[in-house]
Structure 1
């Protein structure tokens, strides 16, 4: 599933492929080694076997958890397509370690209060549930129908899958909660956590050289843009396509006086016929400094913000779309 349908999302494809392969491996041919992923309080705090704990958060051994996590990651591939593979990988990396720290804190406190947890589910619950935070905040909500007065949206199925995964046990619910808190913490960028917990450039380049050809998707010439799995995702993609078309349209110079219709598709045919470069669109008015600061607070460099505003003729929404496409 992950290799066929997850196009143009190499990180999602690699994560899904790794989870499926590791789960099948340790459930069938290497089932006798499942004990590698068992741990308790003594394993972590007395024996200091941190590698076993990190390994237990890297593979799903329960087929139900694997199925639910795969469905959620498949829905969340929209974020890799919108923000880029590198930002998406940094989000997974950062929320993975944030959720680990929260889980360790809960295990320590539970032991101090003499409330030992009966068992510890295996799998990367943290980053999977952390993705529910941008999914809730960034994907628009469109009501499809009502059941007993409760609005049902296209996103409801995703939330039900997450609830099914979290409701397996008290420990699973705790892991899911740690993932949600990690997602909120990373999204708010408290203490510049996004700059601290990120994959180094040389490591991402090395991984791309080693695994890039395995997870890359060929782009057909006559490709139809992939649409999201829910109505909200399709609507958001449609809006993005319209904004991108607006950005390209504003890049074209206006036709000269005496030629109101211009020549060519964008009214710049005369300049192309003469072999002249396209003239930049003049900026009509300066954007308030407050709006520029808002865009820089979103994580974009000020120089790139000013450049995108010049290209977008001081249209903030178009400029933000250009910055997201370049990131």
Structure 2
């Protein structure tokens, strides 16, 4: 699976979510409480253990589920890069709330002994992300294995199937609830696509992501050279920048059009962070 450039650049919320999920899974696993994390009819409707509802959103009940789930969440960071951290945080919140509601309704309706406790973990967010993955991520290559036609997206689907059936019905139900939540988001239920968080709630994570990129950026990048030239030669403050092919390729891997990426880099003076913001703002209009 390849979700574009490596790391969590321009994906601070995905990084935070994966980190929180891994820490809670390990801590609760060490305490021997991971097997009791999943939602159950008794604890939700009789004992009213609301904290279990919150814990079950983040912590997986086993290490294999954590590995597959984290890999999928890491791949799906491409959506945060495409629509921006603000809108993606709304998608995360919507997917979690709606899928959790469907899980509670499923427990109330089915009441089967085999479904006394659902599998825990961010199944809602993961399988809600398969909806934009199916519709918005194009197939870039196809190949055949033992006569079976596959694409570069097939391995992501296989990882999702492994997670979906990891605990049979216990994991199948929350996975399907996530698919329903993603479908409702896709249908723009209640105009959810236009909802945004206040910028001051999301800027902190964005600054962390951008500052880490700036620290790791080599000193001889086109942006740095251009700024040194500008400082040393005041008369050259409005040069025409040739967009970096590496930055163009990075923006294209995020899902932007090549020509639009070049124009944004020219306007941003080869600063990829500013160029990304320009493209995201244009996409949101």
Bucket of the pairwise TM-score, normalised by the shorter protein: 0.7 to 0.9
Where has structure 1 moved over 3 Å in runs of 4 or more? Answer: 32-36, 147-150, 206-216, 223-228, 234-239, 246-249, 319-322
Query: Equivalents in 2 of 1:227, 1:68: separation in Å?
Result: 28
1:141 CA drift (Å): 1.5
Which secondary structure state, in structure 2, belongs to the residue aligned with residue 218 of structure 1?
helix
For residues 85-234 of structure 1, what are the structure 2 equivalents within 5 Å? 85-111=85-111, 117-168=115-166, 169-194=168-193, 200-201=197-198, 205-206=200-201, 208-209=203-204, 213=208, 217-219=212-214, 220=217, 222=221, 224-225=246-247
Query: Equivalents in 2 of 1:237, 1:106: separation in Å?
Result: 36
Which secondary structure state, in structure 2, belongs to the residue aligned with residue 151 of structure 1?
strand
Call closer, same or farther: CA 1:235–1:156 in 2, change over 3 Å. farther
Query: Equivalents in 2 of 1:145, 1:19: separation in Å?
Result: 34
Which secondary structure state, in structure 1, belongs to the residue aligned with residue 150 of structure 2?
strand
The unaligned stretches of length 5 or more in structure 2 are: 1-5, 223-245, 268-277
Please name the residue that 2:10 is paired with: 8
RMSD: 3.3
Question: When the two structures are superposed, what TM-score results if normalisation uses the length of structure 2?
Answer: 0.72
1:19 partnered with 2:36: no
Q: How many residues align?
A: 242
Contact conserved, 1:8 with 1:216, CA < 8 A, in 2?
no
Query: Equivalents in 2 of 1:172, 1:186: separation in Å?
Result: 21
Query: Equivalents in 2 of 1:159, 1:90: separation in Å?
Result: 24
Contact conserved, 1:120 with 1:171, CA < 8 A, in 2?
yes
Query: Equivalents in 1 of 2:52, 2:181: separation in Å?
Result: 21
Query: Equivalents in 1 of 2:56, 2:254: separation in Å?
Result: 36
Question: When the two structures are superposed, what TM-score results if normalisation uses the length of structure 1?
Answer: 0.64
1:153 CA drift (Å): 0.8
Q: Which has the higher helix share?
A: 2
Contact conserved, 2:124 with 2:178, CA < 8 A, in 1?
yes
Deviations 1:203-251 (A, max 9, x none): x6346548954895322252844978xxxxx9754762333225678x8
Which secondary structure state, in structure 1, belongs to the residue aligned with residue 86 of structure 2?
helix
Contact conserved, 2:73 with 2:126, CA < 8 A, in 1?
yes
Contact conserved, 1:143 with 1:151, CA < 8 A, in 2?
no
Which secondary structure state, in structure 1, belongs to the residue aligned with residue 120 of structure 2?
coil
The unaligned stretches of length 5 or more in structure 1 are: 229-233, 252-318
Call closer, same or farther: CA 1:88–1:38 in 2, change over 3 Å. closer
1:21 CA drift (Å): 1.7
